[in-house]
Structure 1
Amino acid sequence: MARLGRTDVDVFPLVLGGNTFGWTSDEENSHRVLDAFVAGGGNFIDTADSYTSSVPGNSGGESETIIGSWLAARGNRDSVVIGTKVSRHPEFKGLAAPTVTAALEASLVRLGVDHVDVYYAHFDDRRTPLAETAAAFDSLHRAGKIRVVALSNYSAPRIREWLDIARREGYEPPAVVQPDYNLVTRRRYEREIAPLLADEGIAAVPYFALASGFLTGKYREVGPLGRAAPYFAVIGALLTGKNRSNRQEFGERLRRVLASRYFTEAGFAVVKAVEDVASARGVAMSTVAIAWLRGRPGVVAPIASARTVDQLPALLASAEFELTAEETAALDEVSARVG
């Protein structure tokens, strides 16, 4: 287990992402994945109130509801750490104080719990004064409804501003930050955010640990979507097009679009380097990629999702797999050319 920053929360060094629950994993299959994750030693589960509102037939909160039904069926609330987020649910957009409070109450109902262990401001809301949002989170912490204040997708200046407000007002400060960080997305986090987290003793819990599947070797050529496709335009087309009717197909196409950001010569060189290490050590590429991320300064537990139980062993193995100094240096060098 690893300590979650300066908190008293101990977590397994891999977080199970819940973004597939209620989307490409139905309730029964999601429960199997959760069971296997816990059986493998895992205890930290990540979700959001907005998961998965963009999926056909969903309205948001489906992932929380599935996790809640699993908690109720297993009776294991006290042995797991639940993290969820606010700001993107269709009914609770933004981070105004009343919205944060109402959104958390709705999440607690869906999860069937009386508190959330880690509560993230999912995306920065520039329309709401940061002091208002920080006060709302502090109030919920004082009420015992959240144990740890956390931020996701915040810039270094905005993290620092929240910390300054917390110090000035005596609020509970953020103890966890969830950044986009992996072998092909390094520069912004390492240059701007990591030094701040190190100074403040804040834990990093990175998402997109496998770069939307890119680091598993799943994508070997640019293909029809390629880098030439306007990224946000394609995302919009996927979210509104007829192809949304098939959840599995929609999920795969969306993952490919997300991964297409890395379809460059430098990006594929990283994939080759990961594959070389994996082949030499007899492990899966995902094990290598997540182990590298887990070994970065300040990173406590990377987040990875599993649609099926079969995908879990390689992810769980990353919690104990240790790269050699030579392997780490090789991955550092090739990935530094990407960003």
Structure 2
Amino acid sequence: MRGDTALVTAPIAVPRRIGTSDLRVFPIALSGTVFGWTADGPTTTSILDRFVELDGGFIDTADSYAGGRSEIMIGNWMRERRNRDSLTIATKVGKSPDHPGLSAPAVRAAVAASLRRLRVSHIDLLFLHIDDTAVSFDETLLAVDELIRAGDVRYFGGSDHTGERLLEARIAAGQLGVAHMVALQKHYNLVHRDEYEGDLARVSTQLDLGVLPRFALAAGFLTGKYRTRGDLERERRGAEASRYLNRRGLRVLAALDRVASETGTSVATAALSWLLSRPRVVAPVVSVSDPGQLDAVMAAPRTPLGRHHLTELDRASE
């Protein structure tokens, strides 16, 4: 899954299909992680407005983000802008303290609560936020299928599952005759490759899953703003990025600097463009704290990287 299998990023931001679903999205998903937490109401509104101005339409949140406030803020914004029909909305269930786990009652209650907070009639893409091994896949899958048949959910995917567990879920869905997963959201970026590449990548291809990498910019490290210990100390999210400030991380940033310079773009754009070149990747899930950060993010699908650039980034991140 290294350089020889990478595809050159398309120069035009053509919508990408999520797995076997009929959902086609701009190749960047906006994360609602910070909404209601580090981003207040006006900032959240500004971020969402700018995202749509830049052709974005895929928003990813969870019932556990900011205790549900992320969903509320997104829902209020959609109601005010009257733009629900032009958006693809994804949320996750399983981690909320109000409806923890993936038992049938928990899944049904969590989805009902998310629908109320989002103020929508249906969720386009529902993620199982955890792999709840205390509950049989049969119970969870039957509950999700019930929601799909009722029109509350269109499609669903996994988030914290191993390749083996994804295969188990597909087999169970086939035996039950119910809907199966169409997507996988997983930690994946230039400085965090091993968790996905290998078994998960193989299974995602085998099951025809659309892959949505989360932590796509490595807590801001792949924007290039963390290069010294002093940089980490000055930023709120520095602690999260500190794990990457090592010899390998700095080698990756040096390669990104060269690629960004040669392509006339930014480090963040180059990092996301690399990610978009990977097999099965549909849309990296990216969080921003300021609307001005979106320009570099949204430029990634429109920024072609030559094979020599992709190879250089592959080698630097090995």
TM category (shorter chain) comes to over 0.9
Identity of aligned residues (%): 43
Q: Does 1:163 align with 2:170?
A: yes
Residue by residue over 1:111-142, the C-alpha shift from the partner in whole angstroms, topping out at 9 and shown as x without a partner, is 00011000000011122122211111111111
Aligned partner of 1:277 among 259, 262, 266: 259
* 1:263 Cα deviation after fit: 2.3
Q: Which amino acid aligns with 1:20?
A: V
- Select 1:312's aligned residue among 294, 300, 316: 294
1:142 maps to 149
CA contact (8 A) 2:204 2:280 kept: yes
Q: CA deviation at 1:257?
A: 2.1
Amino acid at match of 2:165: R
Residue 195 of structure 2 aligns to a residue whose secondary structure is helix
1:87-236 → structure 2 map (5 Å cutoff): 87-222=94-229
1:329 and 2:311 correspond = yes
Q: Given the superposition, is the C-alpha separation of residues 297 and 224 from structure 1 closer, same or farther in structure 2, using an over 3 Å criterion?
A: closer
User: TM-score when scaled to structure 1?
Assistant: 0.87
Q: Give the Cα–Cα distance (whole angstroms) in 2 for the partners of residues 219 and 36 of structure 1.
A: 25
Q: Deviation string for 1:280-300 (max 9, x for gaps)?
A: 222111100000001100001
Aligned to 1:2: 16
AA partner of residue 271 (structure 1): L
- 1:48-77 CA deviation, whole Å, 9 max, x = no partner? 00001xxxxxxx101000000001001111
Amino acid at match of 2:45: H
Deviates more, 1:38-47 or 1:26-35: 26-35
Contact in 1 for aligned 2:187/2:195 (Cα 8 Å): no
Higher RCO (CA 8 Å, separation ≥ 6 residues): 2
Q: What SS class does the counterpart of residue 173 from structure 2 fall into?
A: helix
Q: Is the 8 A contact 2:226 2:232 kept in 1?
A: no
Provide structure 1 residue ranges, at least 5 long, that are not aligned to the other structure: 53-59, 227-248
TM-score, normalising length: structure 2:
0.92
How many residue pairs match? The answer is 304
Q: How far does residue 153 in structure 1 lie from its aligned partner after superposition? A: 1.7
User: Which residue in 2 is equivalent to 1:22?
Assistant: 36
3-state SS, counterpart of residue 218 of structure 2: coil
Structure 2 CA distance, aligned partners of 1:40 and 1:157? Answer: 38
Contact in 2 for aligned 1:270/1:331 (Cα 8 Å):
yes
Whole-Å Cα distance in 1 between the matches of residues 97 and 146 of structure 2? Answer: 23
3-state DSSP of counterpart to 2:126 = strand
Q: In structure 1, give the amino acid aligned to 2:54.
A: G
CA RMSD of aligned residues (A): 1.5
Which deviations, in whole Å up to 9, do the C-alpha atoms of 1:66-103 show, x marking residues without a partner? 00000100111110000000011121111111001001
Using the alignment, how far apart are the partners of 1:188 and 1:19 within structure 2? 21
Contact 1:153/1:180 (CA < 8 Å) preserved in 2?
Answer: no
Shift of 1:272: 1.2
Moved over 4 A (4+): 222-226
1:294 aligned to 261, 276, 280, which one? 276
1:222 Cα deviation after fit: 4.2
Native 8 Å contact 2:50 2:291 kept in 1: yes
Query: Counterpart of 1:213 in 2: which secondary structure?
Result: helix
Counterparts of 1:223 and 1:153, CA distance in 2: 33
